[in-house]
């Protein structure tokens, strides 16, 4: 994997940013989380007047070999069917991108179906889905590196158009399974506490999912008694998930704000932070979803999500729903008058 040059945000501007926020014509601290968001965005961009220019959304598609074990209520073909739906503008992600002015890129990173001739889908296919990690690593080192590079290159494309905020979503049946395993291994949380219903498993289905993933984890520990971070990511991860990690790391390297979506994208953010802890400074967490374990993973990242609406669609939809709050934070620091210019007595 390439060596990303990610530095923690430079805090030298913090006093000046705080002074600007405190002198807006409002009681000190009265806009709460908006003030914290404005501070974060100013520090990311190293600018007292941050912007959210040309927001971009990356929708990454990939299939998972573990789906063959019946760990998802949705069949494998839903991945490619939804990818085609997205290309025609009919998905939830399309609606929210239109609503909030995001440029959408739908990208085939590892779908087990030929989408190369479908207009509106970028062909970046690395493999026709991953292997079944119940028996072997989901991907090899070359595929891992290629997925990281694919995600990074997509962010470079966005940056070339002036993008200052990127949102990332996924489409991949069964991808809550690798997310649960990453969560367990990276957060040292018992695996059963990390596994939920995914797209809608019933109680027997969840029990079966727990049994399958427990067997996979046992096999992993047999093969990797002292695993490194990349071992964990590569053994269980989906190609779309590793591409998302690459996108997050490149965005952080380029000081682009990252809107993080639900359970799966939070797992990717967790993995990115394990690889490069400084990348955490560039992440804004959109929401706490309805998938079991999501809140615990957010807590492990010391993340305060902006929304809690019971969402579990994926695709990046929860992060897109949170974007207006981020926009409000930017408008606050850029457009509100201050006490001096408004001729209002500063009373604190």
CATH of the domain at 242: 3.40.50.10210
What's the pLDDT band for 289 if we cut at 50, 70, 90? confident
Name which of 55-69, 168-182, 187-201 the model is least confident about.
187-201
- The answer to whether residues 204 and 65 belong to one domain is yes
**How many CA atoms, within 13 angstroms, populate the side-chain half-sphere of residue 39?**
17
Q: Both 35 and 135 in a single domain?
A: no
Cα 133 to the chain's mean position, in Å?
22
Answer yes or no: do 72 and 35 share one domain.
Answer: no
- The residue among 337, 125, 132, 115 whose CA lies nearest residue 239 is 125
Q: Look at residue 6 and tell me if it is in a domain.
A: no
CA distance 220 to 175: 18
- Residue in the block written with tokens 């560039």: 282
What is the CATH number for 34?
1.10.1610
- What is the predicted pLDDT for the residue at 104? 98
What range does the domain containing 18 cover?
12-50+333-342
Average pLDDT over residues 223-249: 97
Could you tell me if residue 249 is inside a domain? Answer: yes
Looking at the fold, whether 174 and 39 belong to one and the same domain comes out as no
Same structural domain, 152 and 238: yes
Report yes or no on 2 lying in a domain.
no
Same domain, 132 and 251: yes
pLDDT for the residue numbered 78? 96
Same domain as 136, residue 40: no
Cα radius of gyration rounded to whole Å, the chain: 20
- Domain shared by 37 and 104, yes or no: no
Q: Is residue 75 part of a domain?
A: yes
Query: Could you read off the pLDDT of 125-167 as tens digits, one per residue?
Result: 999 999 999 999 999 999 999 999 999 999 999 999 999 999 9
Tell me if 22 is assigned to some domain.
Answer: yes
Q: Is 230 a catalytic residue?
A: no
Q: What percent of the chain has pLDDT over 90?
A: 91
| Residues 205 and 119 grouped into a single domain | yes
Alpha carbon of residue 210 to chain centroid: 24
- Is there a domain that residue 4 lies in? no
Q: Considering the domain boundaries, does residue 83 fall inside one?
A: yes
Tell whether 29 and 107 lie within a shared domain. Answer: no
Q: Is residue 7 part of a domain?
A: no
Q: pLDDT at position 71, please?
A: 95
Tell me: do 283 and 197 sit in the same domain: yes
pLDDT at 199 over 80: no
CA 45 → CA 123, 292, 330, distances in Å? 31, 34, 12
Q: Residues 298, 238: one domain?
A: yes
Report residue 43's pLDDT band, with 50, 70 and 90 as the boundaries: very high
Q: Which of 180-184, 281-285, 336-340 shows the lowest per-residue confidence on average (mean pLDDT)?
A: 336-340
Say which residues have a Cβ less than 8 Å from residue 49's Cβ, sequence separation at least 6.
Answer: 333, 334
Averaged pLDDT, 248-253: 98
The number of folded domains in the chain is 2
Dist. CA 174–CA 183, nearest whole Å: 15
């Amino acid at each position: 994997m390439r060596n990303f040059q990610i530095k923690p945000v430079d805090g030298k501007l913090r006093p000046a940013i705080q002074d600007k926020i405190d002198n807006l014509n409002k009681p000190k601290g009265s806009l709460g989380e908006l003030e914290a968001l404005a501070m974060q965005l100013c520090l990311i961009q190293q600018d007292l007047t941050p912007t959210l220019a040309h927001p971009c959304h990356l929708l990454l598609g990939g299939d998972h070999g573990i789906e063959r074990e019946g760990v998802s209520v949705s069949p494998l073909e839903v991945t490619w069917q939804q990818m085609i739906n997205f290309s025609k503008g009919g998905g939830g992600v399309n609606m929210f991108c239109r609503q909030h002015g995001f440029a959408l890129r739908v990208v085939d990173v590892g779908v087990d179906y030929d989408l190369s001739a479908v207009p509106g889908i970028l062909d970046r296919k690395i493999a026709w889905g991953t292997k079944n990690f119940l028996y072997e690593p989901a991907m090899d080192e070359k595929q891992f590196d290629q997925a990281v590079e694919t995600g990074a290159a997509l962010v470079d494309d966005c940056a070339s158009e002036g993008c200052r905020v990127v949102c990332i979503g996924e489409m991949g049946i069964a991808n809550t399974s690798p997310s649960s395993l990453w969560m367990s291994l990276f957060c040292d949380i018992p695996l059963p506490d990390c596994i939920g219903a995914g797209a809608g498993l019933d109680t027997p289905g969840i029990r079966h999912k727990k049994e399958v993933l427990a067997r996979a984890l046992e096999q992993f520990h047999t093969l990797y008694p002292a695993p490194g971070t990349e071992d964990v990511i590569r053994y269980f991860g989906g190609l779309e998930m590793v591409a998302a990690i690459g996108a997050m790391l490149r965005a952080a390297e380029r000081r682009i704000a990252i809107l993080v979506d639900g359970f799966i994208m939070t797992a990717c953010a967790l993995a990115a932070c394990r690889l490069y802890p400084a990348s955490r400074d560039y992440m804004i967490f959109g929401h706490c979803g309805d998938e079991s374990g999501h809140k615990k993973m957010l807590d492990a990242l010391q993340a305060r999500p902006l929304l809690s609406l019971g969402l579990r669609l994926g695709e990046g939809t929860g992060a897109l729903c949170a974007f207006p709050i981020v926009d409000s934070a930017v408008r606050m620091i850029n457009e509100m008058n201050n006490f001096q210019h408004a001729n209002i007595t500063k009373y604190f």
